[in-house]
Amino acid sequence: MDDFIAQIYRGTTVYGVLHVKPMLVLESGSAEIRPVKSVPAHFTPVFRATPEEVRTIFAAEGKETYEIGASVDDEKIKINLDLERFVERSSAIFGRSGTGKTFLALPLLADIVRQSIASTLIFDMHNDYGYTLKGDRQKFKGLKQLGSIASRVVVVTLDEESSRTRQAGYEFALQIAFAHIEPEDLQMLQNVLALSDVQVNALYTLHRKFPKTWVQKLLSDEVDDEIQALLDGNKLTESTYFAMQRKLSRLLNFKFLRPQTTENFADRILAHLTRGDSVVVEFGRYGNDLPAYVFVANYITRRIHAMYVQMKERAEGGGGEEPRKLVIAIEESHKFLAPEVAQFTIFGNIARELRKYNVTLLIIDQRPSQIDAEVMSQIGTRITCALSDERDISAVFTGMSGAQQLRSVLASLDSKQQALIMGHAVPMPVVVKTREYGQEAYQYFAGDLQPAVERYATNSRKLGRNDDDGLVP
């Protein structure tokens, strides 16, 4: 076919149909971006957006934005997240295994720390955030090795032997005393350890009877006279007690659980967070032990949330300062937010409360379909890498408008360095080629932002921290 015939056919006999959905209005000469409330008239000219227009829509580089990547069509067009809006509500990073969720989460959390937007508490299941991030072929710097924020990051370990073997330094080893454990801390293990409802109720019975020694009695090899009196008086049945004891005996393998400790380490973590530090809890070899991960994450979060509620209420009554914003990053989130447990867990409460008490979640997970639908509907910003399961793809769009059109976009993502971002921190859904984490990122974090340093130092002084502590940069 010659060029002349091709020009005749093109646009008449052979043509394509393009579906366009207007989302935002940016008036000429104005920086105000508004949602679309009407459709353009017929024959309205269509133009490709210029880099300047895209930059205006997705927030130009600034002290409260984070450059998460670039447009997949033009790498010169940078896409930024509004960090202030990102931490206002709970958010999520989804993607199947191997899509680089940690490589997305680590620099994002680092910039939240760098700009002093919020404190972060990271439950580091696989020891990837503190000192070293393990890649497929090489190791990368963790938060503690990023120059500008290193002094504001506190690494806590559950496994001192693992930390020494990996040559990963830490501020202190986390220990939990038996006397500090409450029934609610163990209730989260109900599904993990197959505890029945009767056995869970028995935990509360023991706690009421022996508030300080109930765990030590439960894990003891011998049944003392006080426990025997409960059994003889039919306050507990022997079958329930011994079945519960057998299932919970796994706790004896956790060396971080002690009959006594020198201090309440949950209070120590809270003190760091309220001063403006961020805390990484490394699990060492316990990261492969799901009951240990679920127990510790629940134990610490319950106490921190309770303190934040008290601080917020005192501030509202004029009796203190507003608590600093806190983002809690947690992997394997579906274990805490599954439909059967989400309404009872502290993590479900935090997700539903939005920013009521200045605490939000960063959910990092590969199975969004296993997270409670009500919790999913409350997630503000969703960063989604490639997913293969149809149920997971459907779950990502829970509570989102335009899901049908976006499903095909998500299904077409590359398995590496591409993500669909939608929700509270971006003005409209967008697909990005995510930034590589390496030398360029190290240089970015080498310098500090003076306003952030000032905010951090001011906050530390308000809470009684001195430069002599050696922790204020």
pLDDT given at position 320: 82
pLDDT given at position 449: 62
Tell me the whole-structure pTM to 2 decimals. Answer: 0.88
How many whole angstroms separate alpha carbon 125 and alpha carbon 463?
Answer: 30
How many whole angstroms separate alpha carbon 342 and alpha carbon 359?
Answer: 17
pLDDT given at position 110: 96
- Sequence-distant (6+) residues with CB within 8 A of 105 are 93, 129, 329, 362, 364
Beta bridge partners of 423: 381
Task: Please spell the DSSP secondary structure of 404-458, one letter per residue.
Answer: HHHHHHHHT--SSSEEEEEETTSSS-EEEEEPP-SHHHHHHTTS--HHHHHHHHH
pLDDT given at position 467: 40
Return phi, psi of residue 312, to 5°.
Answer: -65, -45
Beta bridge partners of 176: 257
Q: What is the pLDDT along the chain (473 residues), one digit of tens a residue?
A: 578 777 777 766 666 777 777 888 877 766 678 888 888 888 888 887 777 777 778 865 556 899 999 988 888 888 999 999 999 999 999 999 989 999 999 999 999 999 999 999 999 999 999 999 988 788 999 999 998 899 999 999 999 999 999 999 999 999 999 999 999 999 989 988 999 999 999 999 999 999 999 999 999 988 999 999 989 988 889 999 999 999 999 999 999 999 999 999 999 999 999 899 999 999 999 999 999 999 999 999 999 999 999 999 999 888 888 889 999 999 989 989 988 888 778 999 998 886 789 999 999 999 999 999 989 989 999 999 999 899 999 999 987 777 777 888 888 898 888 999 999 999 889 999 999 999 999 999 987 665 555 555 555 555 444 443 433 22
pLDDT given at position 11: 63
Q: How many CA atoms lie within 13 A of 307 on its CB side?
A: 18
H or E element in which residue 4 lies: helix 3-9
pLDDT given at position 39: 81
For the record, the structure tokens of 378 come out as 């409350």
Please give the distance of CA 377 from its chain centroid, rounded to a whole number: 16
pLDDT given at position 57: 82
pLDDT given at position 399: 78
